[in-house]
Amino acid sequence: MTAPPLRWGVIAPGGIARAMATALNAVTQQRIAAVASRSLDRAQAFATEFGADTAYGSYAALVADASVDVVYIASPHSEHREHALLALSAGKPVLMEKAFTRNAAEAQEVVDVARAGGLFLMEAMWARFLPHYDVVRQCVQGGLLGSIDTVFADHGQPLYPDGPQRLSDPALAGGALLDLGIYPLSFASMVLGGLASVTAVGELTTEGVDAQEAMTARGTNGGLGVLHATMLARTAARASVVGTAGRLDIDGSFYQPNPVRYTARDRSAGPVFEPASRKHGLAYEAAEVARCITEGRTESPLMPLDETVAIMATMDDIRRQLGVVYPGEHPGGPA
């Protein structure tokens, strides 16, 4: 609520854009200035529901709107590169939904364009900005856990075969990895100072995208990640960070606002962090964007662009091991 207010332009008013608009209106001073859909009717319906000033029937029209301070891109993964380049070439700062792009080559291209233009850009890995992730970071960096040995993290939701088409369609860069697996990978990357290498086994759908994967990773600063994602079933979605001096367990879905519990090496129970609110978690990343842009920053220290590109490269590696290729990937992608 204390973050400086910006005027947001929303590209692609689908499911997550609705959740973001709900959070912005409920618990921030951010203003939804404009919304753009491929259909003017859909844009107008969204504008009416969330109080946006202007509705556009094309994304190009929105990025040309001088009253928009920052563009939020909420289209499917396959479209992110094109939509980010559209906004950046119009001189707009960008918050782009995860997964950032289809592959690392596309991610690097978008990052290079933002840096060349001196424009803010950030991956909307919203969990990074939640208070309990901050607690995890402080415990790790402050040495409370000793030396970090292992990060366990899992994310499973029953999104296939009955879920949204974008998850089953290779042309939309579907599959569990880019949608769900990115959460455990990003969490492990944050705790282990990056991921130096990864091995993976998985199962593919009849359409040729990954239904689930079990992944093991080696951290850049040492330590291992034991990670899993599936779109076939609802898992407990738990995460633990295990160090020589103690352990942190996130109670409940690890990527949503939930308590963090400390257990010492001798099994004694330590303090439990309770989030003040479990609602509207997307507001924290929006507040980070507003603070960074107002301070003249071009990226967030909590979700650095080089780390975003590195996580895309890790996912390229996993897809190579699983045999998942999206049609029409940018040259330099995992194909």
Ligand X SMILES: NC(=O)c1ccc[n+]([C@@H]2O[C@H](COP(=O)([O-])OP(=O)(O)OC[C@H]3O[C@@H](n4cnc5c(N)ncnc54)[C@H](OP(=O)(O)O)[C@@H]3O)[C@@H](O)[C@H]2O)c1
List the catalytic residues.
98
Interface residue with ligand X among 126, 133, 254, 284 (CB under 6 A) is 126
Outline where the chain has alpha helix (H). 15-27, 40-50, 59-63, 80-89, 104-117, 131-141, 165-168, 176, 182-192, 282-294, 305-322
Applying CB under 6 A, does 37 fall inside the site for ligand X? yes
Q: In what order do the strands lie in the sheet with 195-204?
A: 195-204, 210-219, 224-230, 148-156, 239-243, 246-250, 260-264, 269-273
CA distance 30 to 306: 27
Interface residue with ligand X among 4, 29, 38, 265 (CB under 6 A) is 38
Interface residue with ligand X among 92, 98, 132, 280 (CB under 6 A) is 98
SS3 at position 178: helix
Interface residue with ligand X among 28, 30, 54, 75 (CB under 6 A) is 75
Please, what is the minimum distance in Å from the beta carbon of residue 37 to ligand X? 3
SS3 at position 210: strand
Applying CB under 6 A, does 219 fall inside the site for ligand X? no
Contact 167, 241 (CB under 8 A): no
Other CB atoms within a 10 A radius of the CB of residue 90 amount to 17
Please, what is the minimum distance in Å from the beta carbon of residue 269 to ligand X? 31
Applying CB under 6 A, does 92 fall inside the site for ligand X? no
Which candidate, 327, 256, 293, places its Cα nearest to that of 122?
Answer: 293
Nearer to ligand X, 146 or 164 (CB): 164
Q: With contacts defined by CB under 6 A, name the span among 50-58, 72-80, 295-303, 314-322 that binds ligand X.
A: 72-80
Applying CB under 6 A, does 39 fall inside the site for ligand X? yes
Q: In what order do the strands lie in the sheet with 31-36?
A: 54-56, 31-36, 7-11, 70-73, 94-97, 121-124
Number of residues that bind ligand X (CB under 6 A): 23
Nearer to ligand X, 84 or 114 (CB): 84
Interface residue with ligand X among 4, 5, 15, 327 (CB under 6 A) is 15
Please report, as residue ranges, which positions from 163 to 182 form the binding site for ligand X (by CB under 6 A).
Answer: 164, 166, 172, 179
Nearer to ligand X, 217 or 286 (CB): 286
Q: With contacts defined by CB under 6 A, name the span among 31-39, 148-156, 234-242, 257-265 that binds ligand X.
A: 31-39
Contact 223, 182 (CB under 8 A): no
Nearer to ligand X, 181 or 223 (CB): 181
Q: Dihedral sign, CA of 59, 279, 138, 190?
A: negative
Applying CB under 6 A, does 16 fall inside the site for ligand X? yes
Nearer to ligand X, 19 or 264 (CB): 19
Contact 30, 4 (CB under 8 A): no
Residues that bind ligand X (CB under 6 A): 12-17, 37-39, 42, 74-77, 79, 97-98, 124, 126, 164, 166, 172, 179
